[in-house]
Amino acid sequence: MGRSYSSQKAYVDGEALLKTDRKILGVVFSDKSLCTRCGTCIGACDENALVIGKNFYPEINEDLCTSCGICEKVCPGGKVDFRELAEITFGDIACDDSFDGRVLKTFVGFSNDERIRNGGAGGGIITGLLHDLLKRKMVDGCIVTRMNPEKPYYGEVFVARTYEELLESQQSKYIIIPVNAILKEIRNLDGRFAIAALPCQIHGLRLMEKQKDPVMDKIKLIIGLFCASAMEPVVALEMLEMKKINPQDLKTFNFREGAWPGNIIATLKNGQKVKMHYSNFKDGAINYMTQLYSPFRCQTCIDGSSEFSDISISDAWTRDETGKYIFKSQSKILVRTEKGLNAINEAMKNGSITIEDVTRNKDYKTHKLHRKKKGLKAPLRVERLRKKGIQVPEYDRKIEKYSLRENIEERLETFIMTIGHYRLFRYPLYKILISKFGVPMIKIRQYNKRRKYRRR
């Protein structure tokens, strides 16, 4: 988890004991709540003065810090300038203010490799693309994540160089992982790399690109994941506690194991598999998790579709008029750059993936509830909190028009997410929701979905 230092100048449990001017440091050292924990500052620091610390926040050894200020320049936590990021990514500031962002082509698809397809959350399209890049020797390694083999309740970033290592990276993680911290390792490695990253992590990568950091010359493709929210690192540990499972007995912890859309499954060292909730992952877990375990910075993030990647990927949640999923266990692919389009086309030509072009079909715009959550309610939350004097990220986008109902919904969600910051409230509430006592809520949600589609 990174080195620790005995120096009293280190970052200690939320308080930075620093002599260095905080203005030249990343936002975590002036306002911890704005830190995305993306790891960019760690990856960008040439002096190794920053490391991953408690709860995956950066820690500083001031004895190594040279006050260069680079960590502040590449930090995406306190400010996100969409037009600046558009210029870095696309070469101009003509930023598409729609939630999907700039899109050249839209596809749905899946990996043709059976192990990859069956092991992935949405047809294995990300792993299939990365494997194709490795096979064609377009990259020498892929920066991906997995659950930590030694501590399976935490996630970690690593470089996958083989087919088997890529298989280790499958499954969505939904947990804080400072992915960009690995760039500290990458700058000492030869070769070219692709990276799969979340929106905030991609913001950091693009800011490093603006600073002309040589390590970014090694990153040949950025694949972005759609993101509603990452989860606090305690989420898996608390779920184990609720099920009375000793973390030492844990072998693996998967957030979306089994038939799509999957289930949260803990596999013990004795081979026993324990399902951590009722119903499936979508109806019986994720809706509660994104409310109760969402970090404050995730609640105030308005990029849910990785707008500044080369390719953005999410599950294909589109349904037909009866409510059935049209592309079950497949992914939606938003291609944003020519580099991304070339990667997709080559993977298709090589037989690595199967895709269908749905660019002209308006039904394949971003899932409405996700767009509402991140594209409407999050900006509304940011503006409301700003007016109350609470520190929130700065954005160069205006809020969309919203209804009274949406305003009330946002306030209710904010209240739930606020109490989720406190274990005293979060733990018993989540324990009830994923127990048999939460089943009626699942049934009500499923009934409302069926009713909605019958009315069409």
Answer for the pair 80, 38: CB distance below 8 angstroms, yes or no: no
Answer for the pair 180, 77: CB distance below 8 angstroms, yes or no: no
Q: Does residue 29 sit within a domain? A: yes
pLDDT at 23: 76
50-59, 162-171, 396-405: the lowest-pLDDT one: 396-405
pLDDT at 443: 87
Q: Does residue 333 sit within a domain? A: no
Q: Does residue 25 sit within a domain? A: yes
Which string of DSSP letters, residue by residue, matches 95-116? ---STT-S-SEEEEEEESSHHH
The confidence band for 450, taking pLDDT boundaries of 50, 70 and 90, is: confident
Torsion angles phi and psi, residue 447, rounded to 5? -65, -45
The confidence band for 71, taking pLDDT boundaries of 50, 70 and 90, is: very high
pLDDT, tens digit, for every residue of 311-324?
999 998 887 777 78
pLDDT at 18: 60
pLDDT, tens digit, for every residue of 146-157?
999 999 999 999
Q: Does residue 132 sit within a domain? A: no
Where on the phi/psi map is residue 56: left (φ > 0), alpha (ψ -120 to 50), or beta? left
CATH number at residue 56: 3.30.70.20
Q: Are strands 219-225 and 311-315 parallel, antiparallel or unpaired?
A: parallel
pLDDT at 455: 55
pTM for the model:
0.93
Q: What is the mean pLDDT of the chain?
A: 91
**Closest by Cα among 454, 119, 138 to 320:** 454
What number is the average pLDDT over the span 134-138?
A: 97
Examine the pLDDT at 366 and tell me if it is beyond 80. no
pLDDT, tens digit, for every residue of 19-28?
666 778 889 9
3-state DSSP percent of the chain in helix, strand and coil, to 5: 40, 20, 40
| Tokens encoding 429 | 């509430």
Q: Does residue 379 sit within a domain? A: no
Q: Does residue 58 sit within a domain? A: yes
pLDDT at 13: 42
pLDDT, tens digit, for every residue of 372-430?
899 899 999 999 999 999 999 999 988 888 899 999 999 999 999 999 999 999 999 99
Q: Does residue 44 sit within a domain? A: yes
Q: How far apart are CA 187 and CA 95, in angstroms?
A: 31
34-43, 172-181, 397-406: the lowest-pLDDT one: 397-406
Examine the pLDDT at 5 and tell me if it is beyond 70. no
pLDDT, tens digit, for every residue of 217-271?
999 999 999 999 999 999 999 999 999 999 999 999 999 998 888 999 999 999 9
Spell out the residues 6+ positions from residue 244 whose beta carbon is closer than 8 angstroms to its own.
none
Examine the pLDDT at 11 and tell me if it is beyond 60. no
Examine the pLDDT at 3 and tell me if it is beyond 90. no
Examine the pLDDT at 4 and tell me if it is beyond 50. no
pLDDT at 453: 61
Q: How many domains does the chain contain in total?
A: 1
Q: How far apart are CA 244 and CA 153, in angstroms?
A: 14
The Cβ of residue 245 has, within 10 Å, a number of other Cβ atoms equal to 19
Residue 62 domain boundaries: 11-75
Examine the pLDDT at 119 and tell me if it is beyond 50. yes
Q: Does residue 330 sit within a domain? A: no
